[in-house]
Amino acid sequence: MTQRVALIGNPLKRRHSAVMHNAAFAAHGIDASFELRPIDPEDLAPFFAEARGGDWLGFGVTSPYKQAAMEHLDEIEAGATAIGAVNNGVRRDDGSLVGFNTDASGFMAAVAATGLSLAGHPAVVVGAGGAARAVVWALLDGGVERVLVANRTPERAREVAEHLSSYGNIEPAPLESRALATALGSAAIAVNATTMGMTTDTVPFDVAALPETALVFDLVFVPPETPLVRAAAARGLAVCNGLEMLVRQGEVAFERWTGIGSTADIMRGALESWIPGSDTER
Ligand code: NAP
């Protein structure tokens, strides 16, 4: 019996997850397939009923269902509850479904792979959407001293700060602000959690303002080399791109579905040798 995993979302423009997970299934000789399942909101309940079947390993969730999926699950792990979103889940042997958030753990795994220790140091996150929430929570959970969250719509930065205030010290700020410029000056890590670099050619913050020991982390993975990644590399800063986070969060999910870890190299290799078939996939 072929086992199954599906990613639900709408629209589902990118095949990256299918490429890397199917490569890992094949490399480990597991008879399983990862499919993309674009669904409408009314299909959520039927989907999660189906995913309780014995041939299912688990599921992935992307926009716009990372919050809505939560009410269809039997258990939600602490990190996902704190963030307020699930992006992956596993089916237990009894058919129950457990949701968790690998954006947070994948982000921290990618940071850890750089060798940088963030505990006790300040951080900057630009963006206030779902990905920013996962990153802010992960940074605080990882022991950073404080996080400045800057966003084009300042109200959304304030909402993130309020939502996660019990986990640590968060200061909200507008994108064009003295507070952001000051925070960049002492940041151990500066993260782009906006779509800038994917939907625009702009950079979310000035890399010249960062200390020379700072890590610049861009969550955007289409394209993997954004104007921010180029600017940070040109300044000689340590850089992590969104493909590395995608791979690391995929590795965490794959291990939950199969019990097999250390698949990052297989997944990265599959993505590097894959030629996307359309402009939307690039
Ligand atoms: P989202 O909820 O839609 O949030 C988008 C964010 O981008 C908001 O903060 C928004 O600001 C900001 N933004 C959009 N256009 C902007 C512009 N022109 N100038 C300034 N700010 C702008 O999206 P999300 O789900 O958090 O995802 C954010 C990014 O992370 C996406 O690029 C996504 O692909 C990436 N991501 C990567 C991974 C990975 O594994 N690598 C995982 C998750 C997400 P406003 O609030 O002002 O609209």
In the prediction, which pLDDT does 189 show?
98
Q: Are 175 and 152 in contact (CB under 8 A)?
A: yes
In the prediction, which pLDDT does 247 show?
97
Among 193, 223, 202, residue whose Cα is nearest residue 16: 223
Calpha distance 101→81 (Å, rounded):
9
Calpha distance 255→207 (Å, rounded):
35
CA of 196 to the centre of ligand 1 (A): 7
Q: 252: buried, middle or exposed (CB in 10 Å: 19+, 13-18, 0-12)?
A: buried
Per-chain mean pLDDT for the chain: 96
**Ligand 1 pocket, residues with Cβ under 6 angstroms:** 63, 103, 106, 127-132, 151-153, 156, 193-196, 198-200, 219-221, 242, 245-246, 249
CA of 131 to the centre of ligand 1 (A): 7
In the prediction, which pLDDT does 60 show?
98
CA of 136 to the centre of ligand 1 (A): 14
Protein residue with its CA nearest to atom 39 in ligand 1: 246
CA dihedral 37, 282, 156, 137 (to 10 degrees): 80
| Per-residue pLDDT tens over the stretch 153-164 | 999 999 999 999
In the prediction, which pLDDT does 100 show?
98
Instruction: Name the active-site residue from 66, 72, 121, 268.
Output: 66
Q: Is residue 175 within a helix (H) or strand (E), and if so which, with residue range? A: none
Backbone angles phi, psi at 133, to 5 degrees: -60, -45
Ligand 1 atom at shortest distance from the alpha carbon of 246: 40
| Per-residue pLDDT tens over the stretch 256-278 | 999 999 999 999 999 999 977 65
| Top mutation candidate among 175, 194, 249 for ligand 1, by most atoms within 8 Å of CB | 194
Calpha distance 233→212 (Å, rounded):
11
- Give CA 137 to chain center in angstroms: 12
13 is catalytic: no
Q: Which residues of the chain have pLDDT under 70?
A: 277-282
